[in-house]
Structure 1
Amino acid sequence: MKRLAAAMLLAGISNTIHADEPFVVQDIQVEGLQRVALGAALNNIPFSVGDSVTEYTLSRSIKTLFSAGHFDDIRVLRDGNAVIYRLKERPTINSIEFDGNKDIKDDQLNESLSAQRIQVGEPLDRTILRSIENGLTEFYHGVGKYQASVEVELVYLPRNRVNVIIKFDEGDAASVRQINIVGNEVFDNDTLLSVFESGQDKPWWRFLSSDRYQKQTLQGDFERVQSYYLDRGYLRFSIDSSQVSVSPDKSSVYVTLNVTEGEQYTVTGVRFAGDLIGQDALIERIVPIRPGELYNGALVTFTEETISRILARFGYANSRVTTIPDINDETKEVELTINVDPGKRIYVRRIDIAGNSNTKDEVFRRELRQLEGGWLSNDALELSKQRIQRLPYVERIEFETRDVPGIEDQVDITFNVREQPSGSFNAGISYGDFQGLAFQIGVEQSNFMGSGNSAGINLNTNKYQKTVSLNYNNPYFTLDGVSLGGQLFYTKTDYSSLSSNLEAYRQTRYGVGASMGIPINEFNRLNFGASISVNDLSLLQDYDQLRHFKNVILDGNDPDGRLKYINYELTAGWVQSTLNRGLFPTAGHYFGLNGRVSTPNSDLQFFKTTFEARKYIPLSRDHTWTFMSKLELGYGNGYGSRNGYDYTLPFNENFTAGGHNIRGFEHRIIGPRAVFRIPTTIPGLPDPIGGGSGNLPGDPSSDRYSVSQRSIGGNAMAVATLELITPTPFVGEDNRNSVRTSVFIDAGNVWDTEFDFNRYASLTQQRQFDREPLLADYSDPSMIRVSTGVSLQWISPMGPLTFSLAKIINKYDGDLQENFSFNIGATF
């Protein structure tokens, strides 16, 4: 038996040696190629004709060919000294289709498949398909859709091509039927469940809440529960375990959370360790944690983040701030050690501007507060971003920081700009019973030839007024941000041809002005200006409120002459703005106070002040929901006297409301009306020559009056707006900053502080038209008009388009409604 076993062993060894004997390859043949080139296949065979190979070499060549990713099956045969490869190519993907997917968009799926080289034109690796099915199914389970299934179907085509169809059956998401918390004694279940985003068994009317199970949301809920305890001193709180059970029909889940609350701990002290970069006093002062108070996890995190921000302000962008608690379980006290490791100070090597095709680099660079060569400051970067974002020709701005290869303490920064139309075709069309068809047109270029300077020409016309104006402004006339601008204007107004009994006059007004702005700091600016205007009035209808105006300007020797006057005016203003964008802001505030006064050497002496305040409060993290409040105030009057009459605010400087600032009301319909006094007359003495008799003025107490249908404006105004900015339906992420929808409430009034209602108390109103309103006390600021509605605004290539649909809530006698309005070139 021993001899037989030895013989068999020797025979096996002899066969192995013979099978692995090398041979010289005289020919290599490749069969089965269709799309793969012969040269590409031979490049993956690790030997050539004339090489000496073994059986082991041949088996290794199969692995090499498989790794190329072109073949499903590979066989190697030997015919003498010729090696024959019989290959079966993988089919080429002709198309990829998705059917039934709603939770995952096609773009997301294509991106994920491309990362695994599953894309049109690539060979299909069937081994990956199973992992794709499992991965997608696992995703649906993670969002609570346990009934979901994913199946990949292959449709084979001629020329070894294949269509890949991924079919989805998403099913319904499982709801959280019940959440149980075990081990809590200090806080009851209702208190803890109130911090959960995941809900349980929500009734139908709680449609804004969600009881849909999502794994990530539930994981976040567990962290919120832990934070709830840590913020109240329970330093030893722990979540021992959690279980998620799925009902047999996979429509519901039950969640159980096992916790250990522990006891509350008091902070005995806070000390610092590490390098505080010389800012010890500042850092110690801003720490909100005080000895004797309960431990608060939120305050600890806030302290760490605040210290990191302070360090980043001085160039230490990669600092590490950690808090180490020294816990005494016997006394239930904890001492905190805040360890500060600032790391290396980081400097900025280069700043690049990308994405700007219309605007010169220098326009953006002059807004930067982060400088090349200086240390990296997060505050300076954010401020730079905010300043660029405020420019009206910028839709979006982001920045990215890149390490400089081979240099640890330097970075490059790129500001990626997305521009929006900087030219504004300013136009508006509206129609009203009074003004008929009104049309305005103009061109405003806030980024003239890419320089950042603004220039414009505007023309406005309707059946009673024509206006043309030219303006130009350079916001960086000097390097430190002093602006300089100028304006030419011409207006011709003719109310004398109107059929209604509005105050009638003709006016030609033209002039020139200059303005200058001086920055005080990043958020405050002072503006100054001077102008001269020439005014020519004629055919001025004699309504009662004009008596002071006419008496101070008319020539006593020519009471029927033209009213021509020249005004020299000075302006001053203050602006504070922290808005995050120039157009369609979503955060920050704006305050603007402006005053204008004519100099004592002017023909008319008056002043006029306006104030505007806007506040934007984001209600969601992505700012798609934002609350906006707005307040506009105005007041003007005359100063000094002439010919025994006090100066008043010129009637053509009055504030008006309706249409442009209180939507839903017709243009210039709100506020004081013109009062036309109709004197009583008595027959005069007979004319001895003509035989007739003229009329003589009668008793003034018997006079009558009529009231105009439209407002002449007033010297005081107050308008407020509350607006809820909402996501715009059917608008994608790319256009979110150029389209805005909102729900608004407008309220306000215009009044005349100089109006004397008692002057007409004993007189009788003569109503010439059915629509003529009754006289009201136009000095009463409480006659508030209110409207509500929806608005859609779009920054189009022609400029901002505004569509408003409004309904009046509160109005007064004579107010006219304008439900729909459309405007180009103005935003609310």
Structure 2
Amino acid sequence: MIRKIALAVLLAVSGTEVRAADSFQVEDIEIRGLQRVALGAALTHIPFNVGDTLNKFRISQSIKSLYKSGHFNDITVYREGNRLVYRVRERETISEIIFDGNKDLKDEQLIESLDGNNIRVGETLDRTVISGIEMGLEDFYHSVGKYNADVKTEITHLPRNRVNIKFVFNEGDAAAIKQINIVGNELFTDAELLEDFELTSDSPWWNFMAQDRYQKQTLQGDMEKVESYYLDRGYLRFAVDSTQVSMTPDKEKVYITMNVTEGEQYTISGVDFVGNMAGFESTIRALNPIRPDKLYNGALVTYTEEMISKFLGRFGYAYPKVTTIPEINDDDKTVKLSISVDPGKRIYVERINFQGNDVTADRVLRREMRQLEGAWLSNSQVEGSKLWLQRLPYIESVEFETNQIPGEDDLVEVDFTVKEQPSGSFTAGVGYGSTTKLSLNAGIQQNNFLGTGNQLGLSVNTVSYSRSAQISYTDPYFTVDGISLGGQIFYNQFDAGSANLVQYNNKTYGVGLNLGFPIDEYIRLNFGVGYKHNGITQLQTYEQIARFYEIYADPNDPDGGLEFKNFDLNAGISRVTLNRGTFPTAGSSQRLNVKMTTPNSDVQYFKVNLDTKWYFPLSNDQKWTVLTRFRAGYGNGYGTVDGNDQILPFWENFRAGGSETLRGFETNIVGPRAIFRYPVCVPGSPDPAAGGNVCLSPDQDIIDVSQRSVGGNAMILGGVELIVPTPFLDESYASSVRTSLFVDVGNVWDTEFNIDDYADLPEDQFDLLADFSDIGRFRSSAGLSVQWISPMGPMIFSFAKAIREEPGDDTSFFSFNIGKTF
């Protein structure tokens, strides 16, 4: 009886009831209460079979085994004769997980955390884990200063032993920092030490960018900044002794106190290198920037370690260990630095893998690799490979990691993960101006045709002033050496009168072929040949083209059209160091191109174009970047025709204005205007019988200046943009949307124009003219631009205000364009 009572007490403590004698031979085992768990699955956790002799110990072991299976919340065991009966209550199955009130923590983060604790839909519910999750979430909120935060779990029971779990969050506001105190500092004031702090206290209401809410992780970073501040100035014994964070009773404000010991300054007595430097000892010593008799500088020591590691990483030593060991002499306040170098084994790349390229073929990405398979792993070559991949216009982002091959300590695989972006674009534009009215255009450009990396363009565009069709194709790797080959066939009808230009129609068709040759990683040479046929009709002659028209017009048919057959040669050089092909944030690009027609062409002329862009990141994450742009062009004729010097054909003139050149101005509106000169004639004739008019001398002529531009043979455009994070936009869209504040400046002028040719005009007429050869007649504008890489292609929305304009300029506040980004 005593033994039975003792056994009953033992089982009662563990929540289990057992009625059994000391030992007996079990004739049957029964489990009652099973719903979801199969009988066979439950029996596998009972460590004995029918016919075995049992005692209380073996029964208690079976209870523990069933609990350990994770299927049951409660187990009761009792004996019916020699039959052993288990009555169980299964754990509930999770039917749904709901989050309510969470703002700081996204649903995805919470689901990932719960999944790590085996709390997921379809699994059984372990109630013991729930309380731990609640405490962990509250600890997180406390770490970001939300001491009033509260997390509660609501469990709703459903039929068939199912439950819904609802996590209810009451986050509250983070405690504001009332004051930050530093105790123990005598060498530097609190203001000097707190200047670089991310946390601030008592910020004014208008400084909405200030971080005046307490966060534990941010405070830890600020403490490291204080330590670095002293170490960089030679205070080698500096230490943060303690940090106290005290709250007000309402838990809405905190006081932060840091206790520091400054110590004294230490001077470097010497620098030595120890260990194996893989044969680069002389180079490493030469690269060392640390000099004796200088104050100890912690930042310089860290920089030296990183520089040596990167240097060794270029030659296959991917995992070097570089450690600086200080030998401090407190007597004379000096420190000797011993830099220990262990390069480790040279690592080789067995394989380069690509992931995420659902459209682009592996070989297209592989040809951009600077890191080669079978060669040693070079950090500079891998980074270079990433950079070249990012420059592809159909790649949005690139990440890579090196993974050691199991069982091999000197072989790795390099895994590149790319994120593709739309490689084709539907180029379109819509706009409205007082002169051009509604304009539309459309076309298709594929930069990654069938995943080959080749460019195919098929466009049929129509706007109020132009109709064109073009087919172009470019293979950037026509040879394995990176020589590119491209060509195009085009047709265009241009109505200048509808494009803010003086009236003429130009029907053009032609073909072109070009080759590109790489000089090095960044520089390419390009050469091309082409044929173009121009047919000019409905030409409204004006002063600036009178000489050109007189050379080529048929005197027997002055109203007839003009036709020109020209063969052109072009050569160019480009240098590109941009970090991305689309939306770059660092690096630069420069392009210089020269085009000239051959001497056997109907018109002999040349044009020179320079286009350069520089990106200067202002922050480490490159979300704030300054872009500077400069573009210049010049053209003129060469040779003579019938004793007359050739000039640049008017249809080749430079133009400015619009979303791609000078935002804030209507398309092509910037530049010289057409001058029309009319003689003054009066009725009468020296011969009264003949009748007719008599025209006065040229110094009495009347001048009319058009409101439309004719372009010029010289152009300068420039601009500055501040690229900023797009407000109210999710971080996941940062690589496809760009916002910038810009200032555009530029002018188009005619170097062949001479205002003195009109000096004989009456003063009231001469005053109507402007000096169209004056480079100083520049225009400028400022505004906001938003660019979006949409599924149809790049879209640009610009809001611009003209700052400086000339009389007659037509301005435009809003412009919208599809197909090209800055």
TM-score band, normalised by the shorter chain? over 0.9
CA distance in 1, matches of 2:398, 2:779: 40
User: 1:706·1:766 contact (CA, 8 Å) conserved in 2?
Assistant: no
Q: CA deviation at 1:370?
A: 0.9
- After alignment, is 585-594 or 738-747 more displaced? 738-747
Unaligned 5+ runs, structure 1 = 1-7, 768-772
Counterpart of 2:702? 704
Q: Within the alignment, does 1:389 sit opposite 2:393 as a pair?
A: no
CA distance in 1, matches of 2:559, 2:170: 88
Q: Which residue, 770, 774, 782 being the options, matches 1:776?
A: 770
CA distance in 2, matches of 1:653, 1:12: 108
Q: Within the alignment, does 1:655 sit opposite 2:649 as a pair?
A: no
- After alignment, is 380-389 or 742-751 more displaced? 742-751
Tell me which amino acid in the other structure corresponds to 1:807: K
* TM-score (norm: length of structure 1): 0.93
Tell me which amino acid in the other structure corresponds to 2:673: R
Q: Within the alignment, does 1:151 sit opposite 2:168 as a pair?
A: no
Q: CA deviation at 1:687?
A: 7.1
Please report the RMSD computed on the Cα atoms of aligned residues, expressed in angstroms.
Answer: 2.5
Q: CA deviation at 1:357?
A: 1.9
CA distance in 1, matches of 2:154, 2:536: 83
Q: CA deviation at 1:547?
A: 2.7
For 1:110, what is the secondary structure of its paired residue? helix
Q: Which residue, 807, 811, 821 being the options, matches 1:817?
A: 811
CA deviations on 1:701-737 (whole Å, 9 max, x unpaired) are: 1111111111111112122222222333454333322
- After alignment, is 302-311 or 619-628 more displaced? 619-628
For 2:120, what is the secondary structure of its paired residue? coil
Match runs of 1:801-812 below 5 Å: 801-812=795-806
Q: CA deviation at 1:604?
A: 2.2
CA deviations on 1:471-521 (whole Å, 9 max, x unpaired) are: 11111111110111112222223447x6x9953223222222111111111
Tell me which amino acid in the other structure corresponds to 1:788: A
Tell me which amino acid in the other structure corresponds to 1:793: Q
Match runs of 1:327-476 below 5 Å: 327-476=328-477
For 1:166, what is the secondary structure of its paired residue? strand
- After alignment, is 592-601 or 131-140 more displaced? 592-601
Q: CA deviation at 1:607?
A: 1.8
Q: Within the alignment, does 1:582 sit opposite 2:581 as a pair?
A: yes
Counterpart of 1:743? 741
User: 1:553·1:603 contact (CA, 8 Å) conserved in 2?
Assistant: no
User: 1:153·1:167 contact (CA, 8 Å) conserved in 2?
Assistant: yes
Counterpart of 1:222? 223
CA distance in 1, matches of 2:221, 2:648: 63
Tell me which amino acid in the other structure corresponds to 1:703: D
Tell me which amino acid in the other structure corresponds to 2:640: S
CA distance in 2, matches of 1:212, 1:141: 12
- After alignment, is 323-332 or 722-731 more displaced? 722-731
Tell me which amino acid in the other structure corresponds to 1:781: I
- After alignment, is 44-53 or 383-392 more displaced? 44-53
For 1:788, what is the secondary structure of its paired residue? strand
CA distance in 2, matches of 1:549, 1:281: 69
CA distance in 1, matches of 2:196, 2:776: 45
Counterpart of 2:48? 47
Counterpart of 2:788? 794
User: 1:614·1:631 contact (CA, 8 Å) conserved in 2?
Assistant: yes
CA distance in 2, matches of 1:230, 1:553: 79
- After alignment, is 737-746 or 317-326 more displaced? 737-746
Match runs of 1:106-255 below 5 Å: 106-255=107-256
Match runs of 1:516-535 below 5 Å: 516-535=515-534
Q: CA deviation at 1:557?
A: 7.7
CA distance in 1, matches of 2:790, 2:285: 51
Tell me which amino acid in the other structure corresponds to 1:725: I
Unaligned 5+ runs, structure 2 = 11-18
Q: CA deviation at 1:684?
A: 6.5
Q: CA deviation at 1:663?
A: 1.3
User: 1:238·1:260 contact (CA, 8 Å) conserved in 2?
Assistant: yes
CA deviations on 1:791-817 (whole Å, 9 max, x unpaired) are: 222222221122222222222211112
Counterpart of 2:277? 276
Q: CA deviation at 1:150?
A: 1.2
CA distance in 2, matches of 1:20, 1:707: 120
User: 1:435·1:462 contact (CA, 8 Å) conserved in 2?
Assistant: no
CA distance in 2, matches of 1:623, 1:28: 69
Q: How many residues align structurally?
A: 809
Q: Within the alignment, does 1:619 sit opposite 2:624 as a pair?
A: no
CA deviations on 1:319-369 (whole Å, 9 max, x unpaired) are: 100011122222222221111100111111111122222221111110001
CA distance in 2, matches of 1:774, 1:354: 66
CA distance in 2, matches of 1:232, 1:566: 73
For 1:486, what is the secondary structure of its paired residue? strand
Distance 1:553 1:287, change over 3 A: farther
Tell me which amino acid in the other structure corresponds to 1:282: T
User: 1:548·1:646 contact (CA, 8 Å) conserved in 2?
Assistant: no
Tell me which amino acid in the other structure corresponds to 1:742: S
CA distance in 1, matches of 2:199, 2:300: 26
Q: Which residue, 713, 720, 723 being the options, matches 2:721?
A: 723
Match runs of 1:618-697 below 5 Å: 618-659=617-658, 660-681=660-681, 685=685, 691-695=689-693, 697=695
User: 2:400·2:416 contact (CA, 8 Å) conserved in 1?
Assistant: yes
Tell me which amino acid in the other structure corresponds to 1:636: G
For 2:753, what is the secondary structure of its paired residue? coil
For 1:803, what is the secondary structure of its paired residue? strand
CA distance in 2, matches of 1:774, 1:728: 46
- After alignment, is 449-458 or 315-324 more displaced? 449-458
CA distance in 2, matches of 1:172, 1:85: 51
User: 2:275·2:341 contact (CA, 8 Å) conserved in 1?
Assistant: yes
CA distance in 2, matches of 1:501, 1:58: 98
Distance 1:204 1:774, change over 3 A: farther
Tell me which amino acid in the other structure corresponds to 2:413: D
Distance 1:641 1:31, change over 3 A: same
* TM-score (norm: length of structure 2): 0.94
CA distance in 1, matches of 2:397, 2:467: 37
CA distance in 2, matches of 1:645, 1:85: 114
Tell me which amino acid in the other structure corresponds to 1:96: I
User: 1:628·1:723 contact (CA, 8 Å) conserved in 2?
Assistant: yes
Tell me which amino acid in the other structure corresponds to 1:668: N
CA distance in 2, matches of 1:620, 1:423: 32
User: 2:239·2:261 contact (CA, 8 Å) conserved in 1?
Assistant: yes
Q: CA deviation at 1:300?
A: 0.6
Counterpart of 2:14? none
Q: Within the alignment, does 1:265 sit opposite 2:245 as a pair?
A: no
CA distance in 2, matches of 1:464, 1:67: 80
For 1:693, what is the secondary structure of its paired residue? coil
CA distance in 2, matches of 1:461, 1:513: 22
- After alignment, is 733-742 or 293-302 more displaced? 733-742
User: 2:436·2:500 contact (CA, 8 Å) conserved in 1?
Assistant: no
Tell me which amino acid in the other structure corresponds to 2:457: G
Match runs of 1:567-606 below 5 Å: 567-606=566-605
Distance 1:265 1:54, change over 3 A: same
- After alignment, is 679-688 or 337-346 more displaced? 679-688
CA distance in 1, matches of 2:732, 2:242: 43
User: 2:501·2:668 contact (CA, 8 Å) conserved in 1?
Assistant: no
CA deviations on 1:631-659 (whole Å, 9 max, x unpaired) are: 21222222333334332221111111111
Distance 1:774 1:698, change over 3 A: closer
For 1:525, what is the secondary structure of its paired residue? strand
Counterpart of 2:38? 37
CA distance in 1, matches of 2:605, 2:578: 33
Tell me which amino acid in the other structure corresponds to 1:296: N
CA deviations on 1:514-551 (whole Å, 9 max, x unpaired) are: 11111111111111112122222233222001133234
Distance 1:797 1:377, change over 3 A: same
CA distance in 2, matches of 1:483, 1:155: 67
CA distance in 2, matches of 1:193, 1:501: 59
